[in-house]
Structure 1
Amino acid sequence: MDFQDVVKRRRMVRKYDVERAVPPEVVDRILQNALRSPSAGFAQGFGFLVLDTQEDIARFRTAATPAEDADKWFAANVQAPLLIVVHSNKDAYLDRYAEPDKGHDDRAEDWWPVPYWDVDAGMAALLILQTAVDAGLGACFFGLEVETIPTYREQFGVPDNFKPIGAVSIGYSDEPPRDLSKRRKPMTELIHRSRWTA
């Protein structure tokens, strides 16, 4: 698929044909592309948990269900043939930027303007979304309720230094096409040239 078509077709899909598995070679391509994500200092401080059985996905739903307002959280209700949970690892960045070639002599994080470990993991998530579209699949990035993260970690053995920034559900779309063009803000509202304007 042409790259511009991938960009135009990418949207959040929340309903899938759960009986139709994502082929293993497609899952591998999605993950290989995620590993090509930009990474500050080439720290590669991301990690991915792949859940591709209905038992594991049901366990994820149970772990991701908050005590209140479970119906508001896609994580607690997701039905998909494939989930990839995207994690960031701040320690990998702090260690990398304390190396001599980076000009810092400690692991301080107060000079970072934004948490690049989360930014880079987010870019990996976008590559997952785009690769899914390129493979003819639907996908949706969604977050986890903060209170559920300890249970999620325990259920899946996720180390403390890997923070789940969100998950991507993937599968063959079972949704009708939607036209979101009327809901998009105009370019003039979002893009500023030479000077930020109101």
Structure 2
Amino acid sequence: MEFQDVVRRRRMVRRYDPDRPVPPEVVDRILHNAVRAPSAGFSQGWGFLVLDTPEDIDRFRTACRHEEWPDDYLAATVRAPLLIVVHSNKDVYLDRYAQADKGFTDRDDSWWPAPYWDIDAGMAALLILQTAVDAGLGACFFGLPKERIPVYRKAFGVPDAFHPIGAVSIGYPDDPLDDDRRARFRARRKPATDVIHRGRWST
């Protein structure tokens, strides 16, 4: 698929064909591309938890179910043949930038202009989404309820240093985009002139 087609076709798909698993070679390609994401200082402070059995995905839903959240909150209701939970590790970045070639003498995080550990993990998540589209699949990135992250960690043995920034559900789409939905999406997309500024910021 041409790259521009991948960008154009990418959307958040929430329903999948339950009878079509994602082939192992496609899962491997998705993960191989994810670890090709850029990272500050080539720190690569990410981690990916792959869930591809009904039992594991049911355990994920249970871990993310929050009694005070709506019943349709996606983390607690997701049904897909494949989930990849994307994590960031801040410590890896602080360690990397305390090395001699980076010019910092300690692991202080006060000088960082943005949390690049989370940004880089988000870039990896985008590559997961794009690779899924390129393979003819649908995918959706969604967050975990903050209050349930300790339960999720315990359920899957995730070390404290790794923070889940979100999960990507992946499968063959059973979520058709009809003309009405296309029109609604187009109407909601902000004009480029509202978000792109050339030379100086203008209102």
TM-score normalised per structure 2: 0.96
**Offset from partner CA, 1:145-175 (integer Å, 9 cap, x none):** 1110000000000000000000000000001
Q: CA deviation at 1:19?
A: 1.6
Judge which range, 56-65 or 67-76, deviates more.
67-76
Q: What are the equivalent positions in structure 2 for 1:6-155 lying under 5 Å apart?
A: 6-155=6-155
**Offset from partner CA, 1:86-111 (integer Å, 9 cap, x none):** 00000000000000000000000000
Q: CA deviation at 1:67?
A: 2.2
CA distance in 1, matches of 2:93, 2:78: 32
Aligned length: 198
Secondary structure of 1:6 counterpart: helix
Structure 2 runs not aligned, ≥5 long: none
**Offset from partner CA, 1:13-54 (integer Å, 9 cap, x none):** 000012210000000000000000001000000000000001
CA distance in 2, matches of 1:42, 1:72: 38
Please state if 1:187 is matched with 2:196.
no
The CA RMSD over aligned residues, in Å, is 0.8
Q: CA deviation at 1:72?
A: 4.4
CA distance in 2, matches of 1:196, 1:68: 41
**Offset from partner CA, 1:99-137 (integer Å, 9 cap, x none):** 000000000000001100000000000000000000000
Structure 1 runs not aligned, ≥5 long: none
CA distance in 1, matches of 2:194, 2:77: 34
Is the CA contact 1:95–1:107 (under 8 Å) kept in the aligned structure 2?
yes
CA distance in 1, matches of 2:46, 2:129: 16
Secondary structure of 1:136 counterpart: coil
**Offset from partner CA, 1:35-88 (integer Å, 9 cap, x none):** 000010000000000000010000000001112124242100000000000000
Structure 1 residue runs of 4 or more that deviate by more than 2 Å after TM superposition: none
TM-score normalised per structure 1: 0.98
Secondary structure of 2:114 counterpart: coil
